[in-house]
């Protein structure tokens, strides 16, 4: 590890049976020896609390600590994430092990921080009476009166009216059949439950550790089991596990996910786990190409990661993940990828001081809302509707033009952005609409995608038409939406092309609302009708795109958005297949260039810059296949 310039390890995240071999008997000596040994080689440790894997003695003696699935079956021991997030007894055991670890290692100079649990049990709930009661209590605290709940959920529909809190059911096996209001609240309840589970451990750790030790949690990109903004709030910083699975890295998709994670706290983050070549859980566990792991590591740094960690170092001799990629084999000697990791390590060491105190800064923001994500996913209306794919479409076209994008929660401050794009903002209650309108009035450019402004915070339809509280500012509205069986033509200021999967028939009511695209001959209803509206509002502009656009039109639309909003690229033109990232600090600017292709690429720099990896200076460079360069810009 030392030879590969590895400076940090994350350990113990599944080791409960070794840390507490029997109830209330702890053995931390082995862990301390490991921490000491690492420290002797210049390596600091992050400790994972082992609560994603309760030991057999615990679950055997206290079966109520095991979670129950939707069909009523209690989990059996032998896998992981089998604990019940709502079991008071399980919470108590979690608190005790985390507290004991904190007592022992909270002042250890070689322990730099903590990771709570591991991937938070994939947000799995226990479908038992404890959870049912908690859910009912949660609803009571939220709505205060059943009248309120009945009204907001429109429970009189299908005779669901509740006269007693105890009548409200748990979202179970038949979740598709449930009330949309209940489903949205259930997702929020799941979020609050996992946030509380996390807080239970944070509180006890904080009691015993030095403030310099950080606390993080490892998220999973676009996983939507809980609201990541809520979960991130008490963490020092967010982290995520970046796995490609089958195939190869998609620079846009992966870059977008880094930006998403950076947006959880609007701060730099860690890639606390990533793929050492191959995983063991995908359809085809192919190995990343030589050089690709290095390109990915630099992409993480470029998008604001301050650490990249490989899961895992060495194969365990048995256990479920024998086939997973590692840096050394079961014999403890390096596998071929080790050399690439060593290169990454030495490069990180070279540029560390230049990157210190820097972070990506953007003029463009994408809005990501879990409420909207859930609301659309519960009622997609067409199975083809994929919000992440739509987000990626926008990103794939806008990222090369701006060369930096933030992904943030809709309620985040917006004034720093020239352009705000919300491809999926289905839930726009009045206060959110006011926040967006204020941004536009002050000169912001807001672009909304299809299905925007349809729902309130209870997942009920707004009594006005889309985009709801924004319709007046837009000077137009949605007359009707259509799930498409086949693509339809559109044409207008953005050229000619097709729309796919979803199309909305728009209508402009204000005389100054411009139509940028119209549908061609399609289903009769849409023929000749507006597909895109835009209108100046205050000092800014609001644009509504009522359909999913094909690649060609999307590319023109992206150019239009960039020009209208005056966004400038952070670097300048780079060849296809090359990504540029920028990190900015007080009086420093660092660019990272990554060539994802398997061919050489020539890049002309906007001015003379210092090439930190090559140790040269110049105004042009050649990037070999999967090549990387880090540039210091002193202008």
Residue placing its CB nearer to ligand GLA in the complex, 190 or 279:
279
The CB-of-293 to ligand GLA minimum distance in angstroms stands at 14
The CB-of-275 to ligand GLA minimum distance in angstroms stands at 7
- Asked if residues 193 and 86 have their Cβ atoms less than 8 Å apart, the reply is yes
Residue placing its CB nearer to ligand GLA in the complex, 160 or 312:
312
The CA distance from 591 to 630, in Å, is 6
The CB-of-462 to ligand GLA minimum distance in angstroms stands at 39
Sign of CA dihedral 16, 330, 115, 121: negative
The CB-of-278 to ligand GLA minimum distance in angstroms stands at 9
Radius of gyration of the chain (CA): 26
Residue 226 buriedness (CB in 10 A; 0-12 / 13-18 / 19+) = buried
The CB-of-11 to ligand GLA minimum distance in angstroms stands at 12
The CB-of-219 to ligand GLA minimum distance in angstroms stands at 10
| Site for ligand GLA, rule CB under 6 A | 118-119, 241, 243, 273, 279, 311, 321, 324
CB atoms within 10 A of CB 98: 24
- Asked if residues 64 and 89 have their Cβ atoms less than 8 Å apart, the reply is yes
Residue 311 buriedness (CB in 10 A; 0-12 / 13-18 / 19+) = buried
Q: What is the DSSP track for 435-464?
A: HHHHHHHTT-EEEE-TTTT-B-TTSPBPSS
119 counts as catalytic: yes
> Any idea which residue has 């190995």 for tokens?
287
307 counts as catalytic: no
Options 13, 20, 273, 498, the catalytic residue? 273
The CA distance from 249 to 240, in Å, is 16
85 CB-near residues (< 8 Å, 6+ apart): 67, 121, 124, 125, 126, 193, 194, 197
The CB-of-311 to ligand GLA minimum distance in angstroms stands at 5
CA angle 431–435–437, rounded 5-degree value:
110
Residue placing its CB nearer to ligand GLA in the complex, 54 or 540:
54
Residue placing its CB nearer to ligand GLA in the complex, 323 or 525:
323
**Rounded to whole angstroms, what are the CA distances from 18 to 21, 85, 94, 218?**
5, 22, 15, 22
The CA distance from 238 to 229, in Å, is 10
Residue placing its CB nearer to ligand GLA in the complex, 80 or 384:
80
Instruction: Kindly give the interhelix angle for 337-355 and 292-302, rounded to the nearest 10 degrees.
Output: 20
Q: Which residue is nearest to ligand GLA (CB)?
A: 241
The CB-of-280 to ligand GLA minimum distance in angstroms stands at 7
386 CB-near residues (< 8 Å, 6+ apart): none
Residue placing its CB nearer to ligand GLA in the complex, 299 or 409:
299
The CA distance from 570 to 580, in Å, is 9
**Cα-flanking dihedrals φ and ψ of residue 332, to 5°?**
85, 5
The CB-of-70 to ligand GLA minimum distance in angstroms stands at 23
Options 119, 307, 347, 504, the catalytic residue? 119
Residue placing its CB nearer to ligand GLA in the complex, 241 or 456:
241
Residue placing its CB nearer to ligand GLA in the complex, 108 or 239:
239
Residue placing its CB nearer to ligand GLA in the complex, 75 or 590:
75
Q: What is the DSSP track for 38-58?
A: HHHTT-EEEEEP-TTS--HHH
Give the tokens for residue 242.
Answer: 């970046």
Positions marked catalytic: 119, 273
């Amino acid at each position: 590890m030392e030879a590969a310039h590895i400076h940090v390890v994350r350990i113990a995240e599944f080791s409960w049976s070794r840390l507490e071999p029997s109830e209330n008997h702890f053995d931390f000596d082995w862990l301390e020896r490991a921490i000491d040994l690492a420290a002797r080689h210049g390596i600091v440790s992050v400790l994972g609390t082992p609560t994603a894997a309760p030991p057999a003695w615990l679950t055997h003696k206290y079966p109520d600590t095991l979670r129950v699935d939707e069909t009523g079956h209690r989990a059996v021991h032998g896998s992981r994430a089998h604990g019940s997030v709502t079991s008071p007894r399980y919470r108590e055991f979690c608190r005790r092990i985390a507290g004991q670890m904190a007592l022992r290692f909270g002042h250890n100079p070689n322990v730099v921080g903590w990771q709570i649990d591991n991937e938070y049990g994939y947000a799995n709930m226990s479908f038992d009476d404890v959870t049912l009661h908690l859910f009912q209590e949660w609803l009571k605290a939220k709505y205060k009166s059943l009248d309120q709940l009945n009204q907001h959920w429109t429970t009189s529909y299908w005779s669901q009216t509740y006269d007693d809190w105890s009548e409200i059911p748990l979202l179970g096996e038949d979740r598709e059949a449930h009330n949309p209001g209940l489903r949205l609240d259930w997702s929020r309840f799941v979020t609050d439950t996992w946030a509380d589970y996390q807080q239970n451990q944070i509180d006890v750790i904080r009691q015993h550790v030095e403030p310099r030790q950080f606390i993080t949690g490892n998220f999973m990109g676009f996983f939507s089991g809980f609201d990541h903004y809520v979960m991130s709030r008490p963490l020092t910083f967010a982290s995520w596990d970046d796995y490609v699975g089958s195939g190869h890295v998609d620079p846009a998709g992966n870059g977008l996910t880094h930006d998403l994670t950076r947006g959880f706290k609007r701060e730099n983050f860690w890639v606390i786990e990533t793929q050492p070549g191959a995983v063991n859980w995908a359809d085809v566990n192919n190995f990343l190409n030589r050089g690709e792991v290095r390109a990915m590591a630099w992409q993480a740094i470029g998008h604001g990661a301050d650490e990249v960690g490989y899961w895992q170092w060495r194969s365990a001799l048995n256990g479920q993940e024998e086939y997973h990629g590692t840096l050394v084999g079961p014999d403890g000697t390096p596998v071929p990828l080790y050399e690439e990791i060593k290169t990454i390590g030495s490069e990180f060491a070279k540029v560390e001081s230049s990157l210190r105190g820097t972070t990506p800064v953007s003029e463009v923001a994408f809005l990501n809302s879990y409420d909207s994500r859930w609301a659309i996913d519960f009622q997609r209306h067409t199975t083809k509707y994929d919000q992440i794919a739509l987000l990626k479409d926008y990103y794939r076209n806008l990222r090369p033009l701006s060369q930096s994008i933030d992904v943030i929660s809709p309620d985040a401050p917006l004034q720093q952005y020239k352009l705000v794009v919300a491809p999926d903002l289905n839930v726009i209650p009045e206060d959110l609409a006011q926040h967006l309108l204020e941004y536009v009035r002050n000169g912001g450019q807001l672009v909304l995608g299809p299905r925007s402004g349809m729902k309130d915070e209870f997942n009920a339809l707004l009594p006005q038409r889309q985009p709801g509280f924004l319709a007046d500012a837009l000077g137009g509205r949605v007359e009707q939406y259509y799930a498409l069986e086949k693509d339809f033509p559109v044409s207008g200021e953005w050229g000619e092309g097709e729309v796919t999967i979803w199309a909305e028939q728009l209508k402009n009511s204000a005389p100054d609302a411009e139509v940028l695209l119209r549908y061609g001959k399609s289903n009769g209803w849409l023929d000749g009708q507006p597909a895109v509206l835009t209108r100046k509002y205050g000092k800014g502009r609001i644009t509504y795109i009522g359909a999913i656009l094909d690649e060609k039109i999307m590319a023109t639309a992206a150019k239009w958005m960039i020009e209208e909003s005056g966004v400038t690229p952070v670097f300048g033109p780079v060849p296809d297949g090359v990504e540029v990232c920028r990190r900015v600090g007080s009086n420093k600017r660092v660019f990272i260039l990554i060539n994802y292709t398997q061919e050489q690429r020539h890049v002309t720099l906007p001015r003379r810059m210092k090439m930190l990896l090559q140790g040269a200076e110049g105004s042009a460079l050649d990037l070999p296949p999967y090549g990387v360069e880090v540039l210091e810009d002193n202008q």
